Chains A and B, each alone.
Chain A
Amino acid sequence: KAGVTQTPRYLIKTRGQQVTLSCSPISGHRSVSWYQQTPGQGLQFLFEYFSETQRNKGNFPGRFSGRQFSNSRSEMNVSTLELGDSALYLCASSLGATSTDTQYFGPGTRLTVL
């Protein structure tokens, strides 16, 4: 069974631009969560989707948004990029609710904002 895939793996953007990251969960998994990982703040929860519905959102500004499609694939979007958005963005999928199920992580997208 294929694991969680994330595209692209690396991105370089400049301040003020917008970026879209993609995540394909493990086949059969219906829940997708996104995390931001930085050296200073560690792993921080962004949001979680289940059956195309956002069930919870972390403490991030409205510039961070996401969605999930009917095939469970998910995208997250960051608008008006800031230098502080440089991070590794990790996507995780699970069979059911992330509060009870194990999350399986993708390799991440490393975003650099110049």
Chain B
Amino acid sequence: AQKVTQAQTEISVVEKEDVTLDCVYETRDTTYYLFWYKQPPSGELVFLIRRNSFDEQNEISGRYSWNFQKSTSSFNFTITASQVVDSAVYFCALSEVSGGFKTIFGAGTRLFVKA
């Protein structure tokens, strides 16, 4: 069965600090997709990244970077030089190709960035 664990419920940092959000997943499939979404206070989930199980290359997009390691079933997300606008709830999600067209989300990590 598929499962996504975000062990960090809340993280609080001071602006300009780097912060890493952890995501560990479980799946029996060899083909699957991982996602990160951001949910600001407005409530709308904003897509950040999608990664398939065959692509273990790390990704960097501005201040955001993602570390995908199949060996540890982890897909961690790092924000460099955090800003107040990064304050939000971040969700990691997993979709299996054989999973019947549904996506499973982790419980989310609430990030507070203080000025």
Contacts and interface: CB of A to CB of B under 8 A. Distances in A.
Question: Which applies to chain A's interface (DSSP): helix, strand, loop or mixed?
Answer: strand
Contacts, number: 63
Interface of B: 33, 35, 37, 42-47, 50, 91, 95-97, 99-108
A8 B35 CA distance: 28
B38 to A, nearest CB: 11
Contacts of B43: 88, 107-108, 110
Given A107-B42, A107-B44, A97 B101 contact: yes
Contact of B101 (A98, A106, A110): A98
B44 A108 contact: yes
B45 A45 contact: no
A59 B37 CA distance: 23
A110 B50 CA distance: 27
Nearest to A106: B44
Given A42-B105, A45-B104, A106-B44, A99 B35 contact: no
Interface stretch (A16-24, A48-56, A61-69, A75-83): A48-56
B50 A102 contact: yes
Contacts of B100: 55-56, 99
Interface string A74-114: 00000000000000101010000111101111111010000
Contacts of B103: 33, 45, 98-99, 103
Contacts of B33: 99-100
A48 B103 CA distance: 10
A105 B45 contact: yes
Contacts of B97: 99-100
A108 B44 CA distance: 7
